[in-house]
Amino acid sequence: MKKYILLIFSFLFSLLGFAQYCVPISNCSDNDYIDDFYFNTISNTNTAGSNCNTDSYIYYTNLSTTVTAGQSYSISMQSGPDWDEGFGVWIDFNQDGDFDDMGEFVFASTTATTALVTGTVNIPSTAMHGPTRMRVRCRYGTTVNSSESCAQFSFGETEDYNVFIENAMPPVADFSAINSNCAPTVSFVDQSQYANSWLWDFGDGNTSTAQNPVHTYASPGNYTVSLTVTNNYGTDMVSYVINVSGASTNLPGPAQCTPQTIDNSLGFGITKVVFNTINNLSANSTAGYEDFTCLQTNLYLGYSYPITVELDNTAEQNVKVWIDFNNDGTFNETNELVVDEQQTMVVQTTITIPNVAITGQPLRMRVASDYYLYGSFTSCDDMNVGQVEDYSVIIEQNTNPPVADFEAVPPRSCDGVVEFIDQSLNIPTAYYWDFGDGNTSIASNPTHTYMNSGVYTVSMTTTNTYGSDMVVHNVTVDFGGNLKPAS
């Protein structure tokens, strides 16, 4: 009499969290096995239960076939001669490590039999192209249903095969280019869809058939780079003009330190920096420290500029940015730390250039990121799994007249004390305040005490070498709580 085996199966997860295919338990020791299996170019015959091991499961890693999305293929299978078997077949079309999704149960026999079972498998046009897994199962005496890809069978066998799904669409060409470390060396990253062959024209007479080539140009300049991609269904081509930078002679002085990446295998780090005219795509922490000081942007004293730092999406990171405003080769953690963002996937903030920064010289800007669980770091610390990139800024004197503005805090005072905060642009060098009650000040951010309730018209006049400007706001002082707020 056949023995019943308890159902035991588990899902294994890798460190990155991707599900592994289950190993179902069956028992083919009493000749309940798949003897012959045919699918497209796979022909696995007369196996006679050769895999009747502990689980009655075998993964034929050396047997594979290529199919095309949107096409149909014949399939057939047969059991051994001793017992009637029902059959079920699954294909993991979305490559998520299981056979549970709708449409992945592709074939079932209508009855249990020892005769040859035949049918057709349709590969949906929406199937993800690339390598995936096919599962074939037999069970003694009854048919197999869609929910049983991992179920325990008291008697039967399971076989897995490799299937490569081609997309029936022509390719769509696209790529990006990363100019490496201020040398005329460019890393090209294929971003095409459905391609299986590549032809690059680098615009300088050189070509490559690699998918992601690295090319060194003889000299800096603008080059028209084209990528032609092909598959069995067509060809596509795209061209971009890329700017290839070279070594610059106008660079910041040497830095006190060059932080390295301790473990660059986990894919953390920085992938894009946008700051004024700098717009740089870069490799993640696999590249370690990167010197982009040949990428420079010009800034004005007293101006604020948006900065965006995009990170590899592995996990949240801490991000810091420094600018060596006094050009001494070091980064002061108080006065020169201009961005300090914690536990983020992208930084979008502003940097204000102080009036004391050195002008007319290239200054080093350092961008650093590391996994947030490692905590804070300084400008010279090696990154555990993150990365450091250096850029250049050249700060220029602002020759525009001031644009006056201020904020009154609070705008409605109950005790007569009002703090005036300068918010002017273009670096005023002199101030003149009229508080509207006969009193004045030349301080940049004065505090004034009013003696009586009322609505006061406050004017501020700012001046620098290049001109002056005035702005007027109203403030309300209400000792008794009876006045309407200033408009």
| Domains identified in the chain and CATH numbers | 34-166 (2.60.40.2950), 175-244 (2.60.40.10), 270-396 (2.60.40.10), 406-477 (2.60.40.10)
Split at pLDDT 50, 70, 90, the class of 249 is low
| pLDDT the model gives residue 17 | 32
Question: Can you tell me the mean pLDDT for 119-135?
Answer: 93
Task: Give residue-wise pLDDT tens across range 286-336.
Answer: 989 999 998 899 999 888 999 999 998 889 999 999 999 999 999 999 999
Mark 184-216 as b/e (b = at least 16 C-beta within 10 Å).
bbbbbebebbbbeebebbbbbeeebeebebebe
Average pLDDT, the chain: 90
Tokens in use for 8? 């035991």
What is the Cα 345 distance to its own chain's centre?
8
pTM given for the model: 0.51
Q: Which two tokens stand for residue 47?
A: 């196996």
Phi and psi torsions of 136, nearest 5°? -125, 130
**Residue 42 backbone phi and psi in degrees, to 5:** -80, 125
Q: How far apart are the C-alpha atoms of 110 and 78, rounded to whole Å?
A: 13
Block residue for tokens 């501020």:
460
pLDDT in tens, 3-38: 332 222 232 223 223 348 999 999 988 999 999 999
Instruction: Tell me which of 3-7, 64-68, 72-76, 127-131 is least confident.
Output: 3-7
Quick: pLDDT tens for 351-383: 999 989 999 999 999 999 999 999 999 999 999
As a whole number of Å, the end-to-end CA separation of the chain is: 95
Q: What is the layout of strands, in order, in the sheet containing 440-441?
A: 412-413, 467-477, 454-464, 430-434, 440-441
